Homo-oligomer: A and B are copies of this chain.
């Protein structure tokens, strides 16, 4: 199967290439980039030196292929979706352009009208752990926000069980989440060692969380995001207040039932050692979402922890996983890397 990538010079694009190079069922067709067009892919993604000998092509030269990944900046896919749909029978979009079901949400969260609202219902919100069947029957999947992925996967069993009063979510994120465009905020002397509350309220990914956790009406989620010293990775800490007091065995039961068969979700809850809870650093490069918890014995509160690599399970790895589901490949194909320790 021939797979191309529109928008291959960003961080998610680079990870897509890396993962697809190791995928037994596909070959990489074209990879587009505009300012880097004509340059070797490894000039932008130095880890791929010696692995791929192709050059970037401009998006105007994209040829038909069997599946097209869209890893373009937010707002570009929605403008050209009809064009892309003619190039490939299957599309997987990593941007936010088709994540929200209701067109009315776009002006609120993304400050613009959606130009192709009819396409919204054709796209499946492409996290296989949430919508595996729909993805397998669809030709169009959208990726999810990285913070939304960590949060939704971490909280779904509790919301689904209808036990949540409210959830207060704090994510800690690395600098790669901001993409590859330099700014004063990303300038190393400023960003290094920072603990920057860049979205104490009002983060866009909240729209996705509310959409995907709306089992019984709008879920009560309060979200904030803090940038920490890290390049890759997200740790979500959720203080979940429950309607009734939950015991440890209750929580275990809900999460085991939800995720026992998931190849990329690991429940992490140890009594000893220094890795008792999920830690994103050991997930760098892997597609795992590690989930853990701690019950507050003194209150109707459970603290849920989840960790992912924002560029893998939070972006490109999840997209490859969705492709595997969509195309009937083994779900873990190309996604076997297990992470490093120490790191």
Q: A15 → chain B, closest Cβ, in Å? A: 8
The range of chain A's interface size is 35 or more
A336 at the interface (CB under 8 A from B): yes
Q: A128 → chain B, closest Cβ, in Å? A: 17
Q: Known contacts being A279-B195, A296-B201, A305-B197, is A186 close to B188, with CB within 8 Å?
A: yes
A193 at the interface (CB under 8 A from B): yes
Of B21, B188, B194, B339, the contact of A279 (CB 8 Å cutoff)? B194
Most buried by B among A45, A46, A342: A342
What CA separation (Å) do A180 and B186 show in the bound complex? 11
Chain B minimum-CB-distance residue to A234: B195
Q: Known contacts being A192-B192, A340-B284, A343-B284, is A43 close to B279, with CB within 8 Å?
A: no
Contact B192 A186 (CB under 8 A): no
Chain B minimum-CB-distance residue to A272: B43
A50 at the interface (CB under 8 A from B): yes
A47 at the interface (CB under 8 A from B): yes
Contact B49 A232 (CB under 8 A): no
Chain B minimum-CB-distance residue to A343: B231
Q: A287 → chain B, closest Cβ, in Å? A: 12
Q: A24 → chain B, closest Cβ, in Å? A: 12
Contact A303 B224 (CB under 8 A): yes
A205 at the interface (CB under 8 A from B): no
Question: Using Cβ atoms and an 8 Å threshold, which residues of chain B touch A132?
Answer: none
Q: Mark A149-184, 1 if CB is under 8 A from B, else 0.
A: 000000000000000000010101011101011111
Q: Known contacts being A191-B188, A279-B46, A338-B21, is A226 close to B232, with CB within 8 Å?
A: no
Chain B minimum-CB-distance residue to A293: B200
Contact B184 A274 (CB under 8 A): yes
Contact B232 A11 (CB under 8 A): no
Q: Mark A239-250, 1 if CB is under 8 A from B, else 0.
A: 100000000000
Contact B175 A182 (CB under 8 A): no
Of B48, B222, B275, the contact of A299 (CB 8 Å cutoff)? B222
| Residues 261-285 (chain A) with a chain B CB within 8 angstroms | 266, 268, 270, 272-275, 277-285
Closest A-B pairs by Cβ, 8 of them: A189-B342, A46-B275, A200-B303, A188-B191, A200-B294, A229-B229, A195-B235, A47-B339
Instruction: List residues of A whose CB falls within 8 A of some B CB.
Output: 11, 14, 18, 21-22, 43, 45-51, 168, 170, 172, 174-176, 178, 180-197, 200-202, 222, 224, 226, 228-233, 235, 237, 239, 266, 268, 270, 272-275, 277-286, 288, 290, 292, 294-299, 301, 303, 305, 307, 336-343
